[in-house]
Amino acid sequence: MVARTSKDRTVAREVLIFPARAPELDGEPLFFLFSVFQIEEIFREITVCPVPFSPPFAEGVAEWREQVLPVISLEAWLGLETLPMPRPQRLMVVRAPRSGNNSKGESIGIIRVTPALRKVKLPIPCALAQPHEWFSDRALFKGVYKWEEGLLLVIDLQNLLGGT
């Protein structure tokens, strides 16, 4: 058994929040929320190569640590209108356990994030909200929450990365 340190408990209670590159939804700004444990690395620039006949949310592929990974637009994956990316942009390598009985390891992908990325300690004062009718597939989310700045969207990374 591995003993957890106080630093591990502190990190476990931190999340990253960033605004979506999408218009407000019924007057509410949209934000994405990720656990720090879901994030492998954040960097500024990478060459993204388009892939013909890929789904609209797949911006292409990029090489990261000698691996070719999909680059995904969260907004397009959710079916939202995507606003232009402010400069400088950030890219975030995210990971999720593979799903299924015979699956081992993790699925990894890259998502574009706005430069307004911030780390927040939990708990965050918020309330459970219903996914908007714009989001036809409720399996896209682990949760949607109303907080003081808008709506927090917690993406189901297993679903996202399993579909790429």
CATH number of the structural domain spanning residue 74: 2.40.50.180
Looking at the domain assignment, is residue 2 inside a domain? no
pLDDT attached to residue 104: 65
Range among 30-34, 79-83, 89-93, 102-106 rated most confident: 30-34
Looking at the domain assignment, is residue 138 inside a domain? yes
Looking at the domain assignment, is residue 21 inside a domain? yes
Are the CB atoms for 154 and 131 separated by under 8 Å?
no
Looking at the domain assignment, is residue 49 inside a domain? yes
Confidence tier at 3 by pLDDT (50, 70, 90): very low
Domain count, the chain: 1
Three-state secondary structure of the chain:
CCCCCHHHHHHHCEEEEEECCCCCECCECEEEEEEHHHEEEEECCCCCECCCCCCCCEEEEEEECCEEEEEECHHHHCCCCCCCCCCCCEEEEEEEECCCCCCCCEEEEEEEECCCCEEEECCCCEEECCCCCCCCCHHHEEEEEEECCEEEEEECHHHHHHCC
Looking at the domain assignment, is residue 105 inside a domain? yes
The lowest-confidence range among 71-75, 78-82, 108-112 is 78-82
Looking at the domain assignment, is residue 34 inside a domain? yes
pLDDT attached to residue 53: 94
Confidence tier at 134 by pLDDT (50, 70, 90): low
Confidence tier at 99 by pLDDT (50, 70, 90): low
User: 124 pLDDT exceeds 70?
Assistant: yes
What is the domain range of residue 78? 15-162
User: 10 pLDDT exceeds 70?
Assistant: no
The arithmetic mean of pLDDT across residues 107-132, rounded, is 88
Looking at the domain assignment, is residue 10 inside a domain? no
pLDDT attached to residue 11: 54
Looking at the domain assignment, is residue 9 inside a domain? no
The pTM assigned to this predicted structure is 0.83
Confidence tier at 111 by pLDDT (50, 70, 90): very high
